[in-house]
Chains A and B, each alone.
Chain A
Amino acid sequence: EAQVTQNPRYLITVTGKKLTVTCSQNMNHEYMSWYRQDPGLGLRQIYYSMNVEVTDKGDVPEGYKVSRKEKRNFPLILESPSPNQTSLYFCASRQGGLPNTEAFFGQGTRLTVV
């Protein structure tokens, strides 16, 4: 079954404690990205990757890091989380180079930073 697997689904952490949200896809997609969803703002892109070892900033990259060492995995790293990063996060993958393709999303991670 084609899927994007994101973990954990829920996470409560304290300010400044480093955390990683994992994302893995089994569709051999080149393009992967991270979004955050906030009320009234929709989904905004944090970072994206066109292929292995190729990453770039999206619209709201401050406070986040990513890496793409393998095609299937694209973890999101918060090195020093702050309360304004409390949000719902989604990982997504798409077939590369084609803007008309369907994006497949993970189940979402609800992050609370206290």
Chain B
Amino acid sequence: AQTVTQSQPEMSVQEAETVTLSCTYDTSENNYYLFWYKQPPSRQMILVIRQEAYKQQNATENRFSVNFQKAAKSFSLKISDSQLGDTAMYFCAFSQLEYGNKLVFGAGTILRVKS
């Protein structure tokens, strides 16, 4: 079965600093997709970044980047120059065709950015 593990229930970071959120997953397949979603206090789910497993290059979106280690089944999210608006719950998620395109989510990490 697919599983996604986020081992950090809560984290905090000072404004303008860098923080890394961890995620590991389990699958026996080679072709799959990984995502980070952000859920601010408004509850809206927002896609932050996505990574295709067959691409070796790590995805980046402005201040957000990932460290994708396929052999280790690790997919961490790095947020640079943290801003107060980054305060949110962050979910790591996994999807693959063989499982009906279902998104499998981790338990989430609450990130608090302090001024």
Q: What are the residues of chain A within 8 A of B101 when measuring CB–CB?
A: 31, 94, 96-99
Known contacts being A40-B107, A43-B91, is A100 close to B33, with CB within 8 Å?
Answer: yes
**Across the interface, do A99 and B95 meet the contact criterion of CB distance under 8 Å?**
yes
* A108 within 8 A of partner (CB): yes
Q: What are the residues of chain B within 8 A of A41 when measuring CB–CB?
A: 107
Interface residue SS majority, chain B:
loop
The 8 Å CB contact of B45, one of A44, A58, A90, is A90
**Across the interface, do A48 and B33 meet the contact criterion of CB distance under 8 Å?**
no
Docked complex Cα distance between A42 and B33 (Å)? 18
Docked complex Cα distance between A68 and B103 (Å)? 20
Q: Nearest Cβ distance between residue A46 and chain B, in whole angstroms?
A: 11
The 8 Å CB contact of B50, one of A50, A90, A100, is A100
**Across the interface, do B91 and A102 meet the contact criterion of CB distance under 8 Å?**
no
Q: What are the residues of chain B within 8 A of A100 when measuring CB–CB?
A: 33, 50, 52, 95
Docked complex Cα distance between A46 and B94 (Å)? 16
Chain A interface residue count, CB cutoff 8 Å, equals 27
In the complex, per-residue mask of A1-21: 1 if CB is within 8 Å of any chain B CB, else 0 = 000000000000000000000
* B47 within 8 A of partner (CB): yes
The 8 Å CB contact of A103, one of B4, B47, B100, is B47
* A85 within 8 A of partner (CB): no
Q: Nearest Cβ distance between residue A50 and chain B, in whole angstroms?
A: 7
Q: Nearest Cβ distance between residue B111 and chain A, in whole angstroms?
A: 15
Which residues of B are at the interface with A, using a C-beta cutoff of 8 A?
4, 6, 9, 32-33, 43-45, 47, 50, 52, 91, 93, 95-97, 100-108
Sorted from nearest, which 8 A-B pairs have the closest CB atoms? A105-B45, A42-B105, A99-B95, A43-B105, A108-B43, A100-B33, A99-B101, A42-B107
